[in-house]
Amino acid sequence: MSTMIFESASVEHLKDESPQRPWRKKPTKFTVSVFLAVVIPGVIVAWLFFSSALPGAIIAVVIYLPLQLFAAGLAALFNRGRKSIGDSFIIVLSIGATIFTLVILISVIGSLIIRGFRALSPHFLYQNSVYINPSTPLEYGGIGHAMVGTLLILTISSLIAVPIGIATAVYITEVRGRAVVYVRFFVQSMSGVPSVVAGLFILTIAVSTGAFNQSAFAGGLAYAILMLPTVARTAEEVLKLVPDDLRTGALALGSTRARTVLMVVLPAARTGIITAILLGIARVIGETAPLLLAAGNNDGTVTNPFDQAVSSIPVYIFNNVALPYPDAVTRAWGSALVLMIFVAVLFTLARYLGRGKVGKY
């Protein structure tokens, strides 16, 4: 095998040359056809938007999208033949779906900020609504009691659902007993349980029988039913990513199966498990129906999770958003903005804590 040797002058000359990327060079015919395929439908739709009385949504979906698909198909046929028409349709639909999602997201976030920012103030975050009625000005009252109740309910549901969910994931991935098929089936079935059904279940077996009052604990039980499948399924997928070499290495050194799981597998998957917990909390934090039935409502601040009914942010929003008082509706929008900020913080933490590679510790 021979070795190619370059002279020093040739090496310096090669260093100064810019890399060639022929795949980036597009023919003029291709550039012009794509430009026309994008501009012509846009011009037609803009003319219809300003000259006709049709709603903008109808123009975008019924007129613009078919025109854009037709123009993209013609451009693909003109440049690369009939086989590329399907690719052009997929590209147009993908870009359209992305833009539609961004529009919806920006619309929701913009509405929350515009309508809810007026209610935000320091006292809005720590005062309760004991002496507040729907017509009271925004200078008085707040959602402090609802925030305390939400934190109590989330804490109770996490203490119940997280250990059971992680244990379920460990049983499915590590123990692999005979009941794995049934356990996985029940976890997947619980993922489709409507939230109101979870609230009705707790109301029937706990509140109506007198075992518990409407309280933060009953609300936490309802939330735990909804949170459990999210934690279990996410943790299961994370544990599957742990390399088998870590397990076999620990077993080869004489470790027991239980010690391997506790000291090797779970620490290796800790970032993914934290992500599973945060995603489970974010899954249930906005649910209203279970709390209406299980936790109830209270205008005062309640710190005892077993004593009496407790308020929460979703229930506070539900009770105020439909009232015929502008200040009450503004409070509901402000509460929704606070809830959205909390969910955004949870997802940011999930992304940040999930950056580490599973199996690296």
pLDDT in tens, 187-229: 888 888 888 999 999 999 988 888 888 899 999 999 999 999 9
| Same-domain status, 224 and 324 | yes
Residue 321 lies in a domain: yes
Name the 3-class secondary structure at 192.
coil
331-354 b/e (C-beta count within 10 Å ≥ 16 → b)? bbbbbbbbbbebeeebeebbeebb
The verdict on residue 122 lying in a domain is: no
Q: Give CA–CA dist 205/210, Å, rounded.
A: 9
Q: Are 79 and 221 in a shared domain?
A: no
> Does residue 175 belong to any structural domain of this protein?
yes
Backbone angles phi, psi at 25, to 5 degrees: -85, 120
Residue 258 sits in which domain range? 144-353
pTM of the model: 0.77
Token pair belonging to 336: 């929704």
Give whole-number Cα distances, 361 to 17, 157, 252, in Å: 42, 29, 19
Percent of residues, the chain, with pLDDT higher than 90: 22
170 or 12: which carries more pLDDT confidence? Answer: 170
Assess whether 201 and 314 both reside in one domain: yes
Distance between CA atoms of residues 270 and 82, nearest Å:
50
Same structural domain, 150 and 111: no
Domain identity same for 158 and 217: yes
Per residue in 255-292, pLDDT (tens digit) is 888 888 888 888 888 888 888 888 898 889 888 999 99
Q: 181 and 89 share a domain?
A: no
Q: How many whole angstroms separate alpha carbon 65 and alpha carbon 136? A: 48
Q: Are residues 98 and 152 in the same domain?
A: no
pLDDT exceeds cutoff 80 at 108: yes
Q: Based on the domain organization, do 45 and 148 belong to the same domain?
A: no
Residue 198 lies in a domain: yes
**Is residue 127, in this structure, part of any structural domain at all?**
no
pLDDT at 62: 84
Same domain assignment for residues 274 and 319: yes
From 224, 228, 240, 229, select the one nearest 272 (Cα to Cα): 240
Cα 29 from Cα 78, distance rounded (Å): 9
Residue 137 lies in a domain: no
* Integer Cα distance of 261 and 238 in angstroms: 13
Count of residues in the chain: 361
Q: How many domains does the chain have?
A: 2
User: Residue 361: pLDDT band by 50, 70, 90 thresholds?
Assistant: very low
Same structural domain for residues 250 and 104? no
∠ Cα 206 210 212 (to 5°): 55
Q: What is the pLDDT of residue 2?
A: 55
Say yes or no: 292 and 237 in one domain.
yes
Residue 123, both tokens: 């006292």
Residue 361 lies inside a defined structural domain of this protein:
no
Structural domain contains residue 139: no
Decide if 191 contacts 252 (C-beta within 8 A).
Answer: no
3-state secondary structure of 61: helix
The CA–CA distances, whole Å, from 282 to 23, 152, 191, 230, 239 equal 44, 15, 14, 10, 21
Q: Which residues have a Cβ under 8 Å from the Cβ of 170 and sit 6 or more positions away?
A: 239, 261, 265, 266
- Structure tokens given for 299: 């205008």
- Domain boundary among the residues 117, 133, 158 is at 117
CA-to-CA distance for 296 and 311, rounded, in angstroms? 7
Alpha-carbon 96 to chain mean position: 21
How far apart, in whole angstroms, are the C-alpha atoms of residue 358 and residue 238? Answer: 7
Do 109 and 168 fall within a single domain? no
For residue 316, what is the domain's CATH number?
Answer: 1.10.3720.10
| pLDDT one-digit tens code per residue, 81-99 | 888 888 888 888 898 889 8
> Could you tell me the two tokens for 20?
């060639």
